[in-house]
């Protein structure tokens, strides 16, 4: 079993992305997910640790918006690390609901995988058998821009000022930040296992990249492994511009097919088990 899994190869192995509005939107909106290609053996101690960890994340989300856990094992390769992070403006109830949904989707997308990560609009969940807790990681996970707009220096200056504000420390070390100016709004967040200085470094990096990548776009989203920034002009969405509509349609179809196939296989296994049990009792036709 591989003991190494970082966000970069994790996302390159399997990434599914679907963004709607770049500012605050539905808590359960799917953003991205990634899984390790390395599988654990069903019924193994590792599976037990995964189940224990994910259960702990869901339970903990009922009273806090961030927590991390380490599940110790006699063998280092079976030791497991995980965390969840909810958006800073969510209530405990919304946070718990989001984390429960993320864990459920992660269990489907990353079935028997030794590591996985999933980001919904309202929360982030990750687990791995190599520790990533407290490790700064500015790997680019996802980026997307909305439609280009007519160049307006005042509007662009206000947009840049809002993002610069989010990336500037006010001495409070807030991991979740929102800002706005006129019809421009933005939101930023760091995963709370980062120190205050690491959070500032991450947000400064993502703001610089987002300005360059999205140029004069009406909206933009950029996620690094440990922080993200999203901005939008009122009424703008992350569709058009650099976004391929057909690609998004194919992503939705692929996700639906994947979930359907997994559900179909599960039903077939249940049916075959029932049939075998019935035959064992002599109820099959001779």
User: 187 and 210 share a domain?
Assistant: yes
User: 68 and 113 share a domain?
Assistant: yes
Where does a domain end: 104, 133, 162? Answer: 133
Q: What is the mean pLDDT of the chain?
A: 78
pLDDT of residue 184: 85
User: 32 and 111 share a domain?
Assistant: yes
User: 75 and 126 share a domain?
Assistant: yes
> Does 243 map to a domain?
no
User: 156 and 40 share a domain?
Assistant: no
User: 197 and 165 share a domain?
Assistant: yes
What CA–CA distances, in Å, run from 217 to 19, 21, 149? Answer: 15, 13, 6
pLDDT of residue 41: 92
> Does 255 map to a domain?
no
User: 121 and 144 share a domain?
Assistant: no
User: 115 and 149 share a domain?
Assistant: no
pLDDT of residue 73: 83
> Does 254 map to a domain?
no
> Does 280 map to a domain?
no
> Does 276 map to a domain?
no
> Does 222 map to a domain?
yes
Q: What domain count does the chain have?
A: 2
pLDDT of residue 276: 66
User: 66 and 158 share a domain?
Assistant: no
> Does 148 map to a domain?
yes
Task: Give the separation between CA 133 and CA 53, rounded to whole angstroms.
Answer: 14
Q: Are strands 30-35 and 176-181 parallel, antiparallel or unpaired?
A: unpaired
Kind and range of the H or E element at 157? helix 153-166
Q: What would the 3-class secondary structure string for 96-134 be?
A: HHHHHHHHHHHHHHCCCECCEEEEECCEEEEEECCCCCC
pLDDT of residue 21: 36
User: 101 and 162 share a domain?
Assistant: no
Task: Give the separation between CA 28 and CA 131, rounded to whole angstroms.
Answer: 27
User: 115 and 168 share a domain?
Assistant: no
Task: Give the separation between CA 194 and CA 175, rounded to whole angstroms.
Answer: 9
CATH number at residue 39: 3.30.430.20
User: 121 and 18 share a domain?
Assistant: yes
Token pair for 39: 């599988």
Where does a domain end: 133, 163, 178? Answer: 133
> Does 211 map to a domain?
yes
Range of the domain at 166: 140-233
pLDDT of residue 156: 84
- 10-residue averages of pLDDT along the chain (286 residues): 35 35 64 93 93 95 95 85 95 95 94 95 95 92 85 79 82 78 88 92 93 89 95 61 37 42 50 60 54
pLDDT of residue 259: 42
Where does a domain end: 133, 165, 183? Answer: 133
pLDDT of residue 115: 95
């Amino acid at each position: 079993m591989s003991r190494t899994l970082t966000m970069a190869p994790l996302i390159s192995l399997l990434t599914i992305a679907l963004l709607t509005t770049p500012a605050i939107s539905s808590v359960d909106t799917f953003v991205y997910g990634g899984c390790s290609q390395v599988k654990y053996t069903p019924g193994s101690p590792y599976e037990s640790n995964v189940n224990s960890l994910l259960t702990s994340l869901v339970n903990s989300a009922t009273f806090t918006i961030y927590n991390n856990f380490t599940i110790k094992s006699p063998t280092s390769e079976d030791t497991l690390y995980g965390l969840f992070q909810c958006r800073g403006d969510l209530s405990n109830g919304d946070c718990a609901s989001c984390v429960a949904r993320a864990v459920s989707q992660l269990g489907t997308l990353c079935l028997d995988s030794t590591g996985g990560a999933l980001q919904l609009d309202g929360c982030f969940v990750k687990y791995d058998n190599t520790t990533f807790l407290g490790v700064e990681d500015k790997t680019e996970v996802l980026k997307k821009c909305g439609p280009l707009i007519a160049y307006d220096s005042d509007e662009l200056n206000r947009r840049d000022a809002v993002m610069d504000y989010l990336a500037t420390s006010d001495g409070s070390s807030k991991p979740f930040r929102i800002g706005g100016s006129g019809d421009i709004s933005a939101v930023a967040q760091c995963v709370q296992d980062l120190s205050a200085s690491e959070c500032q470094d991450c947000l400064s990096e993502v703001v610089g990249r987002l300005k360059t990548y999205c140029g004069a776009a009406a909206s933009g989203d950029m996620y690094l492994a440990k922080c993200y920034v999203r901005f939008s002009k009122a009424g703008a969405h992350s569709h058009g511009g650099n976004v391929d509509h057909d690609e998004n349609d194919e992503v939705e179809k692929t996700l639906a097919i994947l979930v359907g196939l997994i559900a179909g296989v599960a039903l077939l296994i249940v049916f075959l088990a029932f049939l075998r049990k019935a035959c064992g009792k002599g109820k099959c036709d001779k």
